[in-house]
């Protein structure tokens, strides 16, 4: 294992900058916010630690890219900024997200609530779910994993056409695997920052995707025409577990972070770190490091205390009921399902520690 360590001065400059205007901006922040963000360059901090690399296939090793400090983010001329008339994040589900209508509806509401808290201050709206056929996308069976895949670029074109007037961005979510081009095996998600659109798949986040018992394998693609999407009718959907919900929330907020202009983080352990594979994505925390937190706060203008309180509330809300996975077959008239938040409990404790620093 390799630890990516930066000097205190490097981290301090990445966070605060040496530009007098940005230093002055930082000094105008609430004292508690400065205290929390200064943890970035405290070597003994138990809130923000260094990035750890576990193999040569990890993102930083295999995708060398220039790091982005706060000053570079702030002065990026192509960065998208929410405005009073473009202040909404739209979520478009493509295909079913759960084994029943109720599970699908609840799951997308959980994601909506999480995004509302994470991007505190922006509206998050749901568009009417659409079947795969509505997108007119290309699709195939992956020759390695034998599962159905839909073409990410085609979906982005569909989303761009559907983008509402007041949208800061529109993101598509699906339980069907994605591929960006014929030569690629798969992709977790793809976004166009200039168009403010993204598509993300949670297919590989189910506990059984890489197992021999995976039920989403298709023996042969029987397609009568390019407009025959009947193969997607009743196609396999993984069970919504707490881990799948956590992974979904992580991917959704990471990719929307990119639409705000946040590049892959190379400073500290952070949601905005790149990930090449599921094991690396699981190591990535749900939280932003102070450098990326300052970037997002600068873009949206939230109070960090209020944002953290909203995230704790999301974890606490509607979490009563039987812990564990949602039922596989739930009657259509079933009321609200319990939100499976067990996997978020450790993060809740971390947020409470941050709130203690902020409110000292």
* pLDDT tens readout for residues 224-244: 667 889 999 889 999 999 999
349: annotated active-site residue: no
Q: Which two tokens stand for residue 58?
A: 């990890």
CB atoms within 10 A of CB 75: 11
The residues, ordered by sequence, that sit 6+ positions from 335 with a Cβ below 8 Å of its Cβ are none
The residues, ordered by sequence, that sit 6+ positions from 234 with a Cβ below 8 Å of its Cβ are none
pLDDT tens, position by position, 307-328: 999 999 999 986 443 334 444 4
Stretch(es) of the chain classified as CATH 3.40.390: 88-255
Give the model's pLDDT for residue 224. Answer: 62
Tell me: pLDDT of 189 over 50.
Answer: yes
- Residue 131 · residue 150 · CB < 8 Å: no
| 292 closest CA partner among 56, 22, 122, 74 | 74
Tell me: pLDDT of 185 over 80.
Answer: yes
Which of the residues 33, 71, 255, 280 is marked catalytic? Answer: 255
Q: Name residue 178's beta-bridge partners.
A: 150, 187
CA distance 76 to 193: 13
pLDDT tens, position by position, 79-109: 999 999 999 999 999 999 998 889 999 999 9
pTM confidence score:
0.91
CA distance 212 to 209: 8
Give the model's pLDDT for residue 54. Answer: 80
Q: Name residue 172's beta-bridge partners.
A: 92, 199
Alpha-carbon torsion (327, 232, 177, 80), positive or negative: negative
How close are the terminal C-alpha atoms of the chain, in Å?
36
Rounded to the nearest angstrom, the gap between the alpha carbon of residue 161 and the centroid of all alpha carbons in its chain is 22
pLDDT tens, position by position, 127-172: 999 999 999 999 999 988 889 999 999 999 999 999 999 999 999 9
> Which residue reads 């070597």 in tokens?
43
- Residue 87 · residue 168 · CB < 8 Å: yes
- Residue 220 · residue 232 · CB < 8 Å: no
Fold of 88-255: Collagenase (Catalytic Domain) (3.40.390)
Kindly calculate the radius of gyration of the chain based on its CA atoms and give it in whole angstroms: 21
- Residue 304 · residue 268 · CB < 8 Å: no
Q: Give me the mean pLDDT over the 236-262 stretch.
A: 93
């Amino acid at each position: 294992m390799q630890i990516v360590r930066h000097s205190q001065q490097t981290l301090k400059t990445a966070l605060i900058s040496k530009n007098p205007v940005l230093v002055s901006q930082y000094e105008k922040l609430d004292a508690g916010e400065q205290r929390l963000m200064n943890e970035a360059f405290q070597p003994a901090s138990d809130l923000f630690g260094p990035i750890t690399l576990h193999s040569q296939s990890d993102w930083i090793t295999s995708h060398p890219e220039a790091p982005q400090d706060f000053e570079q983010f702030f002065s990026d001329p192509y960065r998208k900024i929410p405005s009073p008339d473009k202040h909404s994040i739209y979520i478009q589900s493509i295909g079913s997200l759960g084994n029943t209508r109720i599970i699908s509806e609840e799951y997308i509401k959980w994601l909506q609530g999480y995004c509302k808290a994470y991007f505190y201050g922006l509206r998050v709206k749901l568009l009417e779910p659409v079947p795969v056929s509505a997108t007119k996308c290309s699709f195939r069976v992956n020759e390695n994993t034998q599962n159905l895949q839909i073409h990410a670029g085609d979906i982005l074109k569909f989303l761009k056409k559907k983008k509402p007037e007041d949208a800061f961005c529109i993101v598509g979510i699906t339980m069907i695997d994605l591929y960006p081009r014929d030569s690629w095996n798969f992709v977790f998600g793809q976004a166009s920052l200039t168009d403010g659109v993204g598509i993300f798949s949670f297919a590989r986040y189910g506990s059984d995707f890489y197992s021999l018992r995976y039920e989403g394998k298709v023996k042969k693609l029987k397609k009568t025409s390019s407009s025959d999407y009947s193969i997607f009718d009743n196609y396999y959907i993984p069970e919504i577990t707490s881990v799948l919900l956590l992974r979904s929330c992580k991917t959704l907020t990471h990719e929307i972070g990119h639409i705000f202009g946040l590049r892959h983080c190379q400073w500290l352990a952070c949601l905005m770190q790149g990930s090449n594979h599921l094991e690396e994505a699981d190591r990535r925390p749900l939280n932003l490091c102070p450098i990326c937190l300052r970037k997002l706060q600068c873009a949206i203008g939230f109070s960090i205390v209020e944002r953290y309180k909203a995230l704790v509330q999301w974890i606490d809300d509607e979490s009563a009921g039987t812990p564990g996975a949602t039922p596989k077959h739930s009657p259509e008239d079933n009321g609200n399902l319990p939100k499976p938040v067990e996997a978020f409990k450790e993060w809740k404790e971390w947020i409470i520690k941050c709130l203690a620093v902020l409110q000292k």
